[in-house]
Amino acid sequence: MSTIKVGVIGIGNMGSIYVKMLDKGQIQGAELAAVCSRNEKRIEWVKANTSKDVKIFKDEDSFIEDSGIDAVLIVTPHYSHPDLAKKAFAKGLHVLVEKPAGVFTKNVLEMNDAAKASGKVFAIMYNQRANPLYQKIRELVHSGELGEIKRTNWIITDSYRPQSYYDSGTWRATWKGEGGGVLLNQVLHQLDIWQWTTGLMPKAIRAVCGEGKYHDIEVEDDVTAFVEYENGATGVIIASTGEAPGTNRYEIVGDRGKIVAENEELVFYKLAQSERAFNASFKGGFGTPEYEKITIPVESENGNHAFIIQNWIDAIAKGTPLLSPGEEGLLALEITNAIYLSSWLNEPVSLPVDPDFYYEKLQGKINRSTFKKKNVTAQTLDVKGTY
């Protein structure tokens, strides 16, 4: 196949990075052919920062219909992802959508159906799946080294955000503009990795979300959620953008030991025998299973956006399997929707969440909102080192 012509729609924080990657030839087999933005300042930025003749569009329909691209990177605000993807699939384009897949599962399910019907390559920007740290954790779990999972635990409070971050756009941190806060923006990657590494989706969630707890925003910036799994295991996830210094500690406890990932280090506490076998056979009254502490050398890489884009292009050109299939964007969003719903209803919620019921409740949050943003200074931020 000849060089794949890629278009980028949405030239904000991340879209600008993808434009540079493609324009500089960092993605083999692909070229930047077109961009789309309604923002005149970002259009001028494209003209000043791209080296080739790139077609520029201000209208999304013209961009999809007339740009002559083969594939599109969707990097617009959250709500628009499914509708833009459906238009692209209808045109016969391959699609890579920035996370989240959407805000609510109702239209993400429709997007997934459109992707399947089109036969085109569909990926989502879950760049942490390319992180060797999480790939090694997944390998240990799926190989059976850890045994049956008994508990999961993740504290993610190292994505601190000052008020100025939320004041960088009128749409940020509002139910109408963004559809959520720390869960949809900062922690969605971990929610994906949580289910991807363990192979487990919660069957029920009980959660508490602090909306505007640490910032002048109307969405959540602090979350604690307790989950139950089908096999009887439990889990807790804690997330915040209002704690400093923050913590990023991921634990998985299994029948044959414990995995701990923290401070870019991976440690496997490997039991000499399974805990269940020790429990059944040990007669000493007090005692614990013997274990070996194994520090596993892994170079954690927090970026990997280029890897996901390259993988997508290779899937189009060569049939390479996708590391981050677009349809799997539904899974972390399903967890997110359940956490929100549990907090709003103040009760446990079973998964999967009813798509229509969640949509109704979200619309209620939007329609009842009286929140007005203050001191907004619209700007494109330098996100280097924040992911």
- Domain spans in the chain, listed from the N-terminal domain onward: 4-128+303-326, 130-300+332-367
If 0-12 CB within 10 Å is exposed, 13-18 middle and 19+ buried, where does residue 356 land? Answer: exposed
Q: In this predicted structure, what is the pLDDT of residue 13? A: 86
Q: In this predicted structure, what is the pLDDT of residue 1? A: 56
CA distance linking residue 237 with residue 225, whole number of Å: 5
Q: What confidence tens digit (pLDDT) does each residue in 96-126 have?
A: 999 999 999 999 999 999 999 999 999 999 9
CB atoms within 10 A of CB 143: 8
For the chain, how far is it from start to end, CA to CA, in angstroms?
Answer: 33
Per-residue pLDDT for 133 more than 60?
yes
Q: What confidence tens digit (pLDDT) does each residue in 298-313 have?
A: 987 767 999 999 999 9
Per-residue pLDDT for 169 more than 90?
no
How far is the CA of 250 from the CAs of 216, 266, 268, in angstroms?
29, 10, 12
SS3 call for 123:
strand
pLDDT: which is higher, 365 or 377: 365
Per-residue pLDDT for 15 more than 90?
yes
Q: In this predicted structure, what is the pLDDT of residue 382? A: 52
Q: Enumerate the β-bridge partners of residue 6.
A: 32, 71
Residues 255 and 243 sit within 8 Å (Cβ to Cβ): no
- Per the prediction, the chain carries an average pLDDT of 94
Please name the residue that has the structure tokens 């959250």: 78
Per-residue pLDDT for 374 more than 80?
no
SS3 call for 220:
strand
Per-residue pLDDT for 356 more than 80?
yes
Whether residue 100 has a cis bond before it, omega within 30° of 0: yes
CA distance linking residue 211 with residue 221, whole number of Å: 6
- Segments of 215-374 assigned E as strands: 220-228, 234-240, 248-254, 257-262, 265-271, 291-296, 349-350
Strand order in the sheet with 94-97: 55-57, 30-36, 4-9, 71-74, 94-97, 122-124
Residue 378's pLDDT band (cuts 50, 70, 90): low
CA distance linking residue 263 with residue 248, whole number of Å: 7
Per-residue pLDDT for 72 more than 90?
yes
Q: What confidence tens digit (pLDDT) does each residue in 178-236 have?
A: 999 999 999 999 999 999 999 999 999 999 999 999 999 999 999 999 999 999 999 99
CA distance linking residue 96 with residue 292, whole number of Å: 42
Residues 193 and 135 sit within 8 Å (Cβ to Cβ): no
| Annotation: CATH topology of 4-128+303-326 | Rossmann fold (3.40.50)
If 0-12 CB within 10 Å is exposed, 13-18 middle and 19+ buried, where does residue 269 land? Answer: middle
Per-residue pLDDT for 386 more than 60?
no
Per-residue pLDDT for 94 more than 90?
yes
Q: In this predicted structure, what is the pLDDT of residue 301? A: 73
Give the rounded percent of residues in the chain with a pLDDT score beyond 90: 90
Closest CA to 34 of 1, 71, 3, 2: 71
Per-residue pLDDT for 250 more than 60?
yes
Tell me if domain 4-128+303-326 and domain 130-300+332-367 are identical in fold: no
Q: Which two tokens stand for residue 145?
A: 């080294």
- Segments of the chain assigned E as strands: 4-9, 30-36, 55-57, 71-74, 94-97, 122-124, 149-156, 204-211, 220-228, 234-240, 248-254, 257-262, 265-271, 291-296, 349-350
Q: In this predicted structure, what is the pLDDT of residue 201? A: 98
| Annotation: CATH topology of 130-300+332-367 | Dihydrodipicolinate Reductase; domain 2 (3.30.360)
Q: How many CA atoms lie within 13 A of 143 on its CB side?
A: 7
Q: What confidence tens digit (pLDDT) does each residue in 322-350 have?
A: 999 999 999 999 999 999 999 999 999 99
